[in-house]
Chain A
Amino acid sequence: DVKVTQSSRYLVKRTGEKVFLECVQDMDHENMFWYRQDPGLGLRLIYFSYDVKMKEKGDIPEGYSVSREKKERFSLILESASTNQTSMYLCASRNDRGRETQYFGPGTRLLVL
Chain B
Amino acid sequence: GENVEQHPSTLSVQEGDSAVIKCTYSDSASNYFPWYKQELGKGPQLIIDIRSNVGEKKDQRIAVTLNKTAKHFSLHITETQPEDSAVYFCAALDTGTASKLTFGTGTRLQVTL
Contact = CB atoms under 8 A, between A and B. Distances in A.
Contact of A90 (B43, B49, B51, B105): B43
Interface stretch (A12-20, A60-68, A78-86, A100-108): A100-108
A33 B91 CA distance: 15
Interface string A24-51: 0000000101010000111111001010
A40 B105 contact: yes
A35 B43 CA distance: 11
A7 B91 CA distance: 26
Interface residues of A, number: 26
Interface in B1-53: 1, 6, 9, 31-32, 34, 36, 41-46, 49, 51
Contacts, number: 55
B9 A106 contact: no
B81 interface: no
Contacts of A40: 9, 105
A90 B93 CA distance: 18
Interface stretch (B59-67, B69-77, B96-104): B96-104
B51 to A, nearest CB: 7
B43 A99 contact: no
Given A43-B89, A56-B98, A99-B93, 11 more contacts: A41-B105, A42-B105, A48-B100, A50-B98, A59-B1, A90-B43, A90-B44, A98-B93, A101-B34, A106-B41, A106-B43
Interface of B: 1, 6, 9, 31-32, 34, 36, 41-46, 49, 51, 89, 93, 95, 98-106
